[in-house]
């Protein structure tokens, strides 16, 4: 397996860790906090970096079900973090205490994309 792909896998996993910490800390506290946003941004940055490395390793965009799901997921994560910043800055108590509900849904969609990478990767190894 090419080194760039391995680095991509590593960074996608780091993104998973940061996304999970941010989302589940928000879920447990039932409140959006500034540090949740920072941790989520680190996850998003590593997700973008992993996507870029994968793009370079493959040599372009390949429209597979996994790639399409991945693009949808990273777009949702981007929208999610922008929305979290706006929510935090607006200081609406109701929005801040309800934000965790959408976070778990977006995280779940991203997880499907993450896990589908294992499926498509294992499929290639077996062939």
- Distance of alpha carbon 43 from alpha carbon 21, whole angstroms: 9
Place of tokens 């391995």: 6
How big is the CA angle at 126 (ends 3 and 71), to the nearest 5 degrees? 55
- Tokens for 102? 């959408």
The ranges assigned to domains in the chain are: 3-126
In tens, the pLDDT along 71-121 reads 999 999 999 999 999 999 999 999 999 999 999 999 999 999 999 987 776
- Give SS3 for 115: helix
Q: What is the C-alpha R_g of the chain?
A: 16
In tens, the pLDDT along 35-62 reads 999 999 999 999 999 999 999 998 988 8
């Amino acid at each position: 397996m090419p080194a760039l792909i391995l680095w991509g896998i590593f960074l996608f996993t780091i993104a998973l860790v940061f996304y999970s910490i941010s989302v589940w800390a928000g879920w447990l506290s039932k409140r959006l906090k500034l540090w949740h946003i920072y941790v989520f941004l680190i996850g998003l940055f590593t997700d973008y970096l992993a996507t870029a490395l994968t793009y370079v390793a493959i040599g372009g965009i390949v429209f597979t079900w996994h790639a399409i799901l991945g693009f949808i997921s990273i777009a949702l994560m981007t929208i999610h973090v922008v929305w979290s910043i706006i929510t935090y800055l607006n200081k609406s108590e109701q929005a801040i205490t309800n934000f965790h509900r959408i976070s778990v849904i977006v995280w779940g969609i991203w997880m499907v994309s993450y896990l589908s990478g294992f499926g498509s990767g294992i499929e290639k190894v077996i062939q």
